[in-house]
Structure 1
Amino acid sequence: MSFTELAWSIFNKSISDYHITDHVDAAEPNPYENASLERLLYAKNWIDTVQWHLEDIIRDENIDPSEALQLKRRIDKSNQQRTDLVEFIDSWFHQRYSSITPNAAATINTETPAWAVDRLSILALKVYHMNLEANRESASEEHRSNCQSKLNVLLEQKEDLCNAIDQLLDDIENGNVKMKVYKQMKMYNDENLNPILYHKMRK
């Protein structure tokens, strides 16, 4: 089994597990061993799945403004958790390939393995929900047909992305690509870097 086959199966298990209760406050039932890559991948997709549904909720035009503000704060926190976990997964890959000496002509990829995996996790959610729409009996035939066309594109994108990720990992392992990890350094949540926050603190 390739890495992306493993990741895709874990992402779909997470999505399926979430929809047992279909509730943003459900406890994460991560079944994998502590410190394992599988556990990290499940946790990553669980964050994405909960945030997907938070984003749905906050778009309700009739939502109470105070509730919307609370949800926005929760989504901000979720985004930070997502970023932290992606960086942690990259650290896992960096450690795994730490003994590899890059070739003299080795290049640097535009994104790290974990940020590519982040895209794959979101793509799994898109495929899941587009499939629901393509088969929703209450929708019109035109709607289902349009969604099936979009689903076909998403599935093609999935194949391309999986191939690209597996190739990237092979290239790192073979020394053809150098792996470097940069922190995202998000500023909006940092009270020392967001002007709105640090000006407020000085008052």
Structure 2
Amino acid sequence: MAVAVAGVLVAAGAVTYSVAGDGGPGAEVPVAGSADAGFARDMAVHHQQAVEMSYIVRDRTTDVEVRRLAYDIAQTQANQRGMLLGWLDLWGLPKVSADGPMGWMDMAGMSGGKDGALMPGMATDTELKKLGTLNGRAAEVFYLRLMTAHHKGGIHMAEACVHKCTVDVEKRLAQGMVDAQQSEIGLMADLLKARGAKP
């Protein structure tokens, strides 16, 4: 088990390192205001909330399917977040934008940060607090609805990176996010239907 985990960490580190030289010798490092940097910063924040919500619901239900989904989302997005922040380190760029989130998409101030929701799709502080008070089916349904909206916001951002980013490995990661999260939205719709709830 330890060997397998070490192998995964080494592979993730290789992917993180490779982005610094992506595009071959002499390739330009992205600048602070680029889509590459903006996506890395914003998606790291977006992913952090998904991880938080997933750990909350894990402790609020005993349902195997929802707990498995929450675990998968938490692990995947925590790993991706590490890569995004690692790239910013390699590029020597700040992890926080002076212009606020989503400026690279020409959507700065779109959500206004109201009640902690810094970007479209993100849950508010009030919604996160409510999730932490629910149990069982109620927690499952609320989580699945919040995460469906969260994924839709994430997909919109990842699709923008696919079109605007210039670092190939980052564009590939963004496309992978789109594919995986669209699939998870379908799964969450099925889980909600099984619980007699709508997305």
Tell me if TM exceeds 0.5: no
Which structure has the larger Rg?
Answer: 1
Q: State TM-score, norm by structure 1.
A: 0.33
